[in-house]
Amino acid sequence: MARVVDRDAKRLQLVEAAAACFANSGYDATSMNDVAAAAGVSKGTLYDYFDGKEDLFYAVFEWLQQQLMQTALSGLAAEDSRTEQVVSAVEAAVAGWVRHVSLYPVSLEVWAAAARTGTRQRFAHAMQTLYTTYRSELVRLLRAAQEGGEVKTGVDIEGIAATLVGAIDGLLLQFWLDQSFDIQRIVRTFMSALFEGIATARGKA
């Protein structure tokens, strides 16, 4: 009897192998043969799941962002105040990248793909969607904190969310370049200073 293949599990195995290859060698220097060898499959098997290298790379991007988003959302605790939930989500997202720092170059490769003529439309749109998702989630949490009386009225929630996303991006790049950079301490300090300014007396720890 032919062995039944769990296609979802197999696809995940291929994506994880590809993620390591792209992170270690970069998009241009990674071939489908390299990924196949890392995954312990034939190149033909890769083409059973992906149309080509760009399609595989896009799958890696989607998988990595899904992992990080799940990590961030898993940091939310129902018993936390709304303000604490914002802090928890940001700290969990950063902690997720700290754990996956070896894969951070994939993000840089996505930026390169977003700037490259042949792949710009697909990857620039993907990055736009990603940033919109992150901002929207932070806006949702901050808006709930504001409506619950924990954040001052009149605060530009959308502006705070956009600034937070940009700040986290910049801090992560610094951490990847220098892993002695204590990003988790700095994020805690930054978030504390932020809410010292925008939180009501009720919303301050």
What is the tens place of the pLDDT at every residue in 144-174? 999 999 999 999 999 999 999 999 999 999 9
Average pLDDT over residues 62-86: 81
Distances (CA, A) of 39 to 12, 43, 101, 184: 10, 10, 21, 33
How many C-beta neighbours within 10 Å does residue 141 have? Answer: 21
CA 189, 195, 196, 201 torsion-angle sign: negative
For 58-198, CATH gives 1.10.357.10
Give 80-136 pLDDT, tens digit per residue: 788 888 898 899 889 999 999 999 999 999 999 999 999 999 999 999 999 999 999
User: What pLDDT is stored for residue 150 in this prediction?
Assistant: 93
User: What pLDDT is stored for residue 2 in this prediction?
Assistant: 46
Predicted model pTM: 0.86
Give the C-alpha separation, 74 to 68, whole Å.
10
Helix 82-99 × helix 183-198 angle, to 10°: 160
CB 203 within 8 A of CB 150: yes
CB 80 within 8 A of CB 88: yes
Half-sphere exposure of 143 (CA within 13 A, CB side): 8
Read off the pLDDT band of 204 (50, 70, 90). Answer: low
Distances (CA, A) of 43 to 25, 53, 61, 111, 118: 18, 11, 20, 27, 23
User: What pLDDT is stored for residue 44 in this prediction?
Assistant: 94
CB 91 within 8 A of CB 75: yes
Q: Quick one: 185 exposed, middle or buried, by C-beta within 10 A (0-12, 13-18, 19+)?
A: exposed
Could you tell me which residues come within 8 angstroms of residue 163 by beta carbon, excluding any fewer than 6 positions away?
Answer: none
Average pLDDT taken over every residue of the chain: 91
